[in-house]
Structure 1
Amino acid sequence: MAVRYPRPLRPGDRVGVTSPSSGVAEKMCGRLDVAIRDLEARGYEVVVGRCMDGSGHISAPAAERAAELTGMLTDPQIRAVVPPWGGETAIDLLPLLDFERIGRAQPTWVVGWSDISTITTPLTLLTGVATVHGNNLMDTPYRTPEGLLSWLDIVEAPRDEPFTQTPPGRHRAAGWDDYALYPEVRDLVLDSTGRWIRLDGSGDVDVEGRLVGGCVETLVNLAGTRFLDTSALAADGGTLVYVEVADSDAYTACRSLHGMRLAGFFEGANAVLVGRTKGPDGPTLTQHEAVLDALGPLGVPIIADVECGHVPPYLSLVNGARGRVVHTAARSEIVQTLD
C-alpha cells in the first residue's frame, strides 16, 4: 500500500470540527471554546460543523454525520478534521462514507482516538491516507508531558524529519478532569509511575513496521470486514499493531483480542503495542495475562502499558507511518517517519 500523507499544517489553514460520534453537551461547551481558541491562537481558522449536538449519544442522524465528515474531508480548504472526542457508535457511519470520493481528494489530516478509531483506521486502510491516533480536540489544551508529542506537533512537522517519543514514566490513575467546572484546565496531573513492559518474554526489542491500530472495544466489531483488512499495509515490510482496551474487564478483552487475531487483524505484525488500561482484572485473569493468552500465539514481541489508550498521557501515533520501536532495560522509544 502506498501511504499518502497530508501536507503539514501551517498558519492560515482551516481546521474542521465535527462529531462523527458523540456531540458536546451544553455544560461542556466552555471547554470546546477553550480548545477552539487555542487553535486560533496558533493561526488556524476553525470551522465548526452542524453535527455537534450533545443531548444524546450521537450528534446527529448517521446520514448527516457521514455527509458532514465526507464534506470536510473533500473540501480543499480544510486541512485537518478534529472531533471533540469519541463516543459509542461511530460504526454506523462506515457504510455511508464515500471512501472513493475521500480517497480521490487531496489528503486531509483526521485526528482522534477512542471511538474515532472506528473511523480513522478504516480511512487509512481503505484510502491509503495517513490518520493520527492522538489527542481529541477537548484534550488539546493540555500541556504535553516531556517526551511526548501532541497531534499538533505531528501534523505541523516537516515530512522529511523522523520524530521520536519516549514514555514520561508517569501516568494518571485518577479520573478525568471536570470540564464543566474547570474548562480551562491545562495541567494534566500524572499521579502514578510506570514503564513499558514486555509480556512475551525477556530481551531487547528493536523492530520496525507500518503503524496501525486503535481501540479494542470499537475495532473488534470490524474484524474480518473490509474496514479492518490490514493485508495491503502489512505487505510493505509488516506492521506494528497498537491496541488499547478502554475499560473492558480482562475476560472481555481476552475474547475480543482472540477474535481480532482469528479474523486476521494481526497477520503480518512484527510487534504489538498494548495501551495502558483502566479495565479491571478478573479473579483469575489479569489484563496482561489476557493479552498474552490471545496474542502470544503470534510469536512476536508484545509490549504493554504504552501511552496510547484511555489512561493519560497520550502518545500520538500515525496510522500508516513507518515506525521503529526500541525497548531495552535502559530506554524505550518509538520513532515515526512519514515516508
Structure 2
Amino acid sequence: MRGRLDVAIRDLEALGYEVVVGRCMDGSGHISGPAAERAAELTEMLTDPAIRAAVPPWGGETAIDLLPLLDFERIGRPEPTWVVGYSDMATLITPLTLLTGTATVHGNNVMDTPYRTPEGLLSWLDIVAAAQGGPFTQTPPGRHRSDGFDDYRSHAFVRDFTLDAEGTWTRLDGTGDVDVEGRLIGGCTETLANLAGTPYLDTSSFAAGEPLLVYVEACEDNAFTICRNLHGMRLAGFFDRAAAVLVGRTHAPHGPTLTQHEAVLDALGPLGVPIVADVECGHVAPSLVNGARGRVVHTAARSEIVQTLD
C-alpha cells in the first residue's frame, strides 16, 4: 500500500506541512521494526520540538509491546506533541493521556487523510489546527458505509467515502434526551481490553475527579468477545467515573444469539448511565480527543458532541 502512503504524504505537503517519514517503515510483516527501535523512534518524535504531530500510516497490530519501553515521564515533560491514530494505536494514545495528561486524537491515520470528510464531521487535521479553548462541534452525517474498507492497493487515489447506508445515533439504555458533560477518554475495545486492570488504563485519578465521557468501539471481534471484553473493563474499574458511554458504529459481526448492541448493554447496562451507540468514531471517522472537555447531546431534534481543548 505504499502508493496510498505517497498520495497521503503529497496531500499533506500540498497543505503546507513538512512530512518526516520515520525509519521504522518495514511493510513486510505486521510490525514496522523491533519493539525497541519503534519505541526509541516514537520517543524521539514526541520529544523533538520541531515535530508537532506523530501520525501512523496505519492502525497497527501489536503496539502493546511498546508500553513497557516508553518513558512516559520524559515524553510528558516537553511541550506536548499531538499523537493521532485509532485501532491498535489506542493501546498507546489512551495510556499516554491517562499517564501524562497530554491530549491525544483518536482519529484518522495518514492513509485515511486524503478522504474528504463527510458533512458534520472533522478530520484530525481540523482538530490539531484548532485554537486552544475554542469549542468544535461534530454531528452525525446521517449516512455511513455499510461494510468494509477501500482497497488501497488498487485504489490508491480514492478520496470519497462510500456512504451507502442511512443511520444516526441510537440510545441503548432507554429513552429520553441525553445532555451530559465530562472529560473524553476511550478507544478500541479489542486493544484496550488487554490493558484493563493495569496502570496503563487506570482512570481513577484522571482529570482530577471530573466525570468522564467514555467511548469504546469495536473493529472486528464478534459480539460474544466484545461482551466479555467490556465486562472485564467494567470489572477493572475503567467505567467507574463514566457519566455516559459512547459506542462507535461497527461492522463487527453479531453472534447467533447476541447483537453488538446487546453485547454492550449486557456488559455496561449495570452502570446506570446513558449509553449512546452508532457514534462515528474510530473505525468509522471522525475524531475524538482524549482529554478534551466534552458535551454530548442526543435528542429527537439533534445529536452532537462538542469538544473543548482547555
TM-score, length basis structure 1:
0.90
What is the distance in 2 between the residues matched to 1:285 and 1:43?
48
2:112 maps to amino acid: D
8 A contact 1:210–1:233 mirrored in 2:
no
What is the distance in 1 between the residues matched to 2:153 and 2:30?
18
Structure 2 residues not aligned, in runs of 5+ = none
Q: Does 1:211 align with 2:195?
A: no
8 A contact 2:91–2:192 mirrored in 1:
yes
Q: Does 1:255 align with 2:228?
A: yes
Task: State the match for 2:106 in structure 1.
Answer: 133
Structure 1 residues not aligned, in runs of 5+ = 1-27
8 A contact 2:106–2:282 mirrored in 1:
no
Q: Report the 3-state secondary structure (helix = DSSP H, G, I; strand = E; otherwise coil) of the residue aligned with 2:20.
A: strand
Alpha-carbon deviation of 1:325?
Answer: 0.1
C-alpha distance after superposition, 1:112-131 (max 9, x if no partner): 00000101000000111000
Alpha-carbon deviation of 1:315?
Answer: 1.8
Q: Kindly report which structure 2 residues correspond to 1:72-83, keeping only aligned pairs within 5 A, or say none.
A: 72-83=45-56
Match of 1:295 among 268, 271, 275: 268
Alpha-carbon deviation of 1:234?
Answer: 5.1
Q: Kindly report which structure 2 residues correspond to 1:211-250, keeping only aligned pairs within 5 A, or say none.
A: 211-233=184-206, 235-250=208-223
C-alpha distance after superposition, 1:183-218 (max 9, x if no partner): 111011111111100000000000000000000000
Q: Percent identity?
A: 79
Number of matched pairs = 310
Q: Report the 3-state secondary structure (helix = DSSP H, G, I; strand = E; otherwise coil) of the residue aligned with 1:107.
A: coil
Alpha-carbon deviation of 1:278?
Answer: 1.1
What is the distance in 2 between the residues matched to 1:309 and 1:152?
15
Q: Does 1:318 align with 2:289?
A: yes
Alpha-carbon deviation of 1:252?
Answer: 0.5
Q: Does 1:286 align with 2:290?
A: no
Task: State the match for 2:154 in structure 1.
Answer: 181
C-alpha distance after superposition, 1:113-171 (max 9, x if no partner): 00001010000001110000010110000000000000000100111210000000111
TM-score, length basis structure 2:
0.98
What is the distance in 2 between the residues matched to 1:71 and 1:37?
24
C-alpha distance after superposition, 1:84-127 (max 9, x if no partner): 11121000000001111101111000000000010100000011
Task: State the match for 2:300 in structure 1.
Answer: 329
Q: Report the 3-state secondary structure (helix = DSSP H, G, I; strand = E; otherwise coil) of the residue aligned with 1:87.
A: coil
2:56 maps to amino acid: P
Task: State the match for 2:132 in structure 1.
Answer: 159
